[in-house]
Amino acid sequence: MTDEPTTAPAQAPAPPASNQQPARRPDGRRLRQLRTAIVLPLVAVVVAFLVGSIFVYAADLIANKGALDLGKPLAAYKALIAGSLLGFGPIVDTLVAATPLVFGGLAVALGFKAGLFNIGVQGQLLMGVTASVAVGVALANQPVFIAAPLAFIAGTLAGMAMGFVPGFLKAVSGAHEVVTTIMLNYIALNILAAMVSGPLRVPKAPAPITFDVGHGALPIFLGSTGHIGIILAAIAAGVVWWVLYRTTLGFEIRTAGLNPDAARYAGMRPRRLIILTMSLSGGLAGMAGANELLGVTHKTTTSFATNVGFDSIAVALLARSNPLAVIPAALLLGAMRAGASQMQIQARIPRELVDVLQAVILLVVVALPVIIRDLGGRGARAVPAEAQTITASYAGETVRS
Amino acid sequence: MTSSPEVVHDEPVRAPALEMRGITKRYPGVVANDHIDLDVKPGEIHALLGENGAGKTTLMNILYGLARPDDGEILIDGKPAQIAGPTDAIARGINMVHQHFMLVPVLSVADNILLGEETMAGPIFIDRREAKRRIIELGQRFGFEIDPDVKVGELSVGWQQRVEILKALYRNAKVLVLDEPTAVLTPQETEEIFAVLRRLAQEGHSIVFISHKLYEVLAIADRITVIRRGKVVGSRVPSETDESDLAALMVGRDVQLVVDRGESHPGEVRVKVAGLKVRDDRGSEVVRGLDFEIRAGEIFGIAGVAGNGQDELVEAIVGLRKPAAGTVTLDGHDVTNATTRAMTNLGVGYVPADRHRFGLVLPFTVADNLVLTDYYRAPYATGIVRNDEAIVERGKRAIEEYDIRTPSATVSAGTLSGGNQQKLVVARELDGDLRLLILDQPTRGLDVGSIEFIHKQAIAKRDAGTAVLLVSAELDEVLELSDRIAVMYRGLIVDVVDGRTADRNEIGMLMATGMRQEAAVASGAAEIPA
């Protein structure tokens, strides 16, 4: 009350910050942060595997007409791990599956850092797919070192353009980015379909499909599928981290994200920052699209089958929006995607189980700190800023702890 | 100084209405309450005095059931009581009036009082008529008549507080806890609320009065308990103590309560505001045509009850808000539409009223907050690349110079106490040669030690030839520091007086009514400032 005039009395009382005794040693704080950063995802994974077991039993019971195999979940998870981690092939599969999630996760994380919830990564990604297939096909017979970079850059720029729109709308009219990006996702979906059924369509093909990008494809350097997008993604994570924490622009983005009023007070220009951040975020999403098209599929039908745009939100949340932590988070989800086929083949468990696992992991990581806070437990204030951005999106105003 | 309260009251022995014994509450790394004993007798006003962070809030949260003590017990009328939550506390006759009122502005007085108590009236329907009758009756009994049908939003702050008190009385409160009740009141309103409290005490109610304002505590309390760093450091009766004694107890050292402002030597006109009109966020004109000048080397104070356009005025001057009309001139240059960054570069320091909203990014480190306005400049950045070493260096220098109590420059600002957070803002804004320094509520919610420090800094800047604009709802602060005082009322300056000869009551009347006493009495406006 006297020390925190804005605190409603219903909240858990804060330990009085004392002038005289520094309450916490800084290294103790860092240790706790590290603990939450590592322990929480681990707990989440364990809980997910436990909850997943229920679904495994259920699926098994139906498939085997009532005969219960107690060891089934273990067999399923074994196959999942074998298919993603055991051996060179599986590891490359995991890396390839994780790569678009790194780009997408960075896109969402960057938005979160600026207090923006970019739920439109999927749409920006599809624009990236559209532009890179167009440029890739056009340059299919040019040398690789010309075709591939240009196609990749085209995808990036298309994603940026698609990210610019909600940023601009928010800056000039205050339209909420959650609403506009969701709507733009549909627009992107149909732009891709229109392009593939129209100008990009292979003539006389029975169903709309594009040509192969040929030399526009990202070169393979690892096994039979490991393309250089893997390296680009790692570099992107480093660059985003550097921009956020080592440049004045990053300082402005983080200030605007944590306290827009203070950003205004400090002479920053929040509107410009919103447009810039959404564009950069869209660019990263566009890279995810270019990466998938140029590195994996090389061509596309009217519907580019991917869920990367939405899984990216999970990655960013798991990583607590830390650009470097995006890499392990993406690897975790990527491994599950990569191992899903083997699980389906060997253990006869539907691959959709990994969606269940992913959802449970997310619930634990995002919801647990909030639940702990509401129960007034210790470490109660550590509600991640991303969670606040999301709740704020629905509550319509910024929640500050 | 003793660690346990001395028994100083020698009334006939009555069981205390409320007694807290050996209350201990530990948080990680800090003992918020360390075996605190506190008792209130029926009909007694007991003041709880302490700096921010001393543990007053924790103690009252424990009493109200919002926190569980690690040790100790609470006795009500001599019997041990378990209080699990506010509902329990209210059921046992303990009520709290919070610093920030818990009222719904669009509801009537009666509805606000009934809120949460609907069940008391009848099984299904609320018996409004009966409720209104009781509200009027209660008001009469304690010397203030109130219309139960008036919407709370239409009442002045002083009357809103009375509604809060009525709410407690309606629920048959025996023990009333008031948390910093005068923070938002004018001196006159404070006097009126004190009268109400005395009346309540006469009727046998017990009152716990939480404050860090010394003169108020001396004026109202029967007994004063001082806590510091979670411990009771002394207990006093007003007749046997004075402000410096209490301040020393509270802070643990001798404190200069009124800083020596010395002579001021105003120079040329530095700032000129002419015909300034400013709208608030909702578009209504809250600054309605202001003209004033501030000279180099003088402190120009603006007194006024919070919400009379002061914040908007200041925001317009620093460039956070576009004026609707008028001009602002600094050193002869028109800066009416200058951006905040341009103003900073022209040598304008600005300590905002709400440090959490404007002044700080709490999750950022102390060092990052210190460069919040010049992060983009050498030596803190080379091109777009931040120079962490220089930033941390800046942090260390400010921590040293301004005595900011923090473990290091790299902990987040949110871990600092309110006083130290404010010192952080002051350190940033007072750095370097300033042409104009704007202090908006610079000491709100701070303890006497920090207030003394910030006042001294303001005077040092004045002596260095800076023009200082001081806006404060704290009349004493304006009186102690200002060379000239303007009183703002409903968006206008109603009077400008000499700061050294100004009369406290005179200004209080101007703040409350916009008129001098004679005029106010004549027009009857003194009654209910809406």
Interface check A23 vs B, CB under 8 A: yes
**For residue B422, which phi and psi values (nearest 5 degrees)?**
-65, -40
Report yes or no on B466 lying in a domain: yes
Considering only CB atoms, A2 lies closest to which of B57, B67, B361, namely B57
CB contact under 8 A, A17 and B416: yes
B338 shares a domain with B465: yes
- With a CB cutoff of 8 Å and minimum separation 6, the contacts of A338 are A83, A84, A90, A93, A94, A96, A97
> Range of B126's domain?
100-173
Specify the 3-state DSSP secondary structure of B464.
coil
Number of structural domains, chain B? 2
Q: Are B315 and B439 members of one domain? A: yes
Residues B339 and B476 in one domain: yes
Identify the domain boundary among B123, B145, B173.
B173
Residue B2 DSSP one-character state: -
Region of residue B441 (phi > 0: left; psi between -120 and 50: alpha; otherwise: beta): left
CATH of the domain at B290: 3.40.50.300
Q: Nearest-CA distance from A114 to chain B in Å?
A: 13
Q: Indicate whether B437 and B291 sit together in one domain.
A: yes
Which one of B146, B173, B200 terminates a domain? B173
Residue A18: pLDDT band with limits 50, 70, 90: very low
**B276 or B280: whose pLDDT is higher?**
B276
Q: Which tens digits make up the pLDDT trace of B101-149? A: 788 888 888 888 888 765 555 566 667 788 888 888 888 888 777 888 8
Distance CA B356, CA B135 (A): 38
E strand or H helix at B244: helix B243-251
Cα separations in angstroms, A283 against A154, A164, A187, A287, A294? 10, 9, 17, 6, 16
Q: What share of chain B is helix, strand, coil (3-state, %, to 5)?
A: 35, 25, 40
Residue B104: inside a domain: yes
Q: Are residues B153 and B286 both part of a single domain?
A: no
pLDDT 10s digits, A96-138: 999 999 999 999 999 999 999 999 999 999 999 999 999 999 9
Helix (H), strand (E) counts: chain B: 17, 22
Q: Do B445 and A9 touch (CB under 8 A)?
A: no
What is the CATH code of the structural domain delimited by A36-395? Answer: 1.10.3470
Can you give the pLDDT at residue A188?
96
Residue A28: half-sphere exposure toward Cβ, Cα within 13 Å: 8
pLDDT at site A390:
66
Residue B209 has phi, psi (to 5 degrees) of -115, 110
pLDDT, position B361: 94
Cβ within 8 Å, pair A5-B420:
no
Which of B141, B173, B205 is the endpoint of a domain?
B173
Task: Report in angstroms the alpha-carbon separations of A130 from A122, A125, A310.
Answer: 12, 9, 18
Closest CB to A265 among B29, B58, B320 = B320
* B456-460: long-range contacts, CB 8 A cutoff, minimum separation 24: B456/B259, B457/B426, B457/B430, B458/B299, B459/B259, B459/B261, B459/B262, B459/B299
Averaged pLDDT for residues A327-355 = 91
Q: What is the pLDDT confidence band of residue A399, given thresholds at 50, 70 and 90?
A: very low
Residue in A8, A16, A266 nearest the CB of B57:
A16
pLDDT at B184 exceeding the cut of 50 = yes
Nearest chain A residue to B345 by CA distance is A267
Whether residue B229 lies inside any domain: the answer is no
- What residue has token string 């007070």? A265
Q: Is the ipTM reported for this complex over the cut 0.85?
A: no
Domain boundaries, chain A: 36-395
pLDDT at A220 over 60: yes
